[in-house]
Amino acid sequence: MDFSELNEYNFEVLPGAAEKFREWIAAGHHIVITTARPESLRGMTVRQLGNAGFQCHQMVMGIGREERILINNNSSKDEERNRALAVSVKRDAGFVNSNWEEVGL
């Protein structure tokens, strides 16, 4: 993959994404971003997100482009509450047409 044209100002913020991230941060959610970008692009990726107004708690980089499976245990205090929530979004489609309610967001 060619990342040579990436820089901290060469990116597009997808519709609804920044607003949804701010909503989640304000609600106290722990946000983990996953990306196939290699670890060598962490600094630039963090700057891109910051320039666009995004915040997150963790970023997992270099995880590949195939299916990603999230495994997380539920709380022993509330075994019915899911602590790992995920929604698949279409690439470059933004967040406005995603059904966040179906996973409790």
What is the Cα–Cα distance from 11 to 49, expressed in whole angstroms?
A: 9
Residue 7: its pLDDT value, please? 61
Q: Is residue 91, in this structure, part of any structural domain at all?
A: no
Residue 98 falls within a domain, yes or no?
A: no
Q: Is residue 37 part of a domain?
A: yes
Query: What pLDDT does residue 5 have?
Result: 54
**Predicted pLDDT at 48:** 87
* Backbone torsions φ then ψ of 32, nearest 5 degrees: -120, 120
76 found inside a domain = no
Q: Residue 22: CB partners within 8 Å, gap ≥ 6?
A: 53, 55
For residue 78, tell me if it sits in a domain: no
As a whole number of angstroms, the distance between CA 79 and CA 70 comes to 17
36 part of a folded domain: yes
Burial profile 14-51: b = 16 or more Cβ within 10 angstroms, e = fewer: bebbbebbeebeeeeeeeeeeeebeeeeeebbeebbee
Give the total number of structural domains in the chain: 1
Residues of the chain with pLDDT below 70 are 1-10
- pTM confidence score: 0.75
pLDDT at 27: 92
Alpha helices in 11-100 (DSSP H): 17-26, 42-51
Q: Would residue 24 count as lying in a domain? A: yes
- Give the domain extent around 37: 17-66
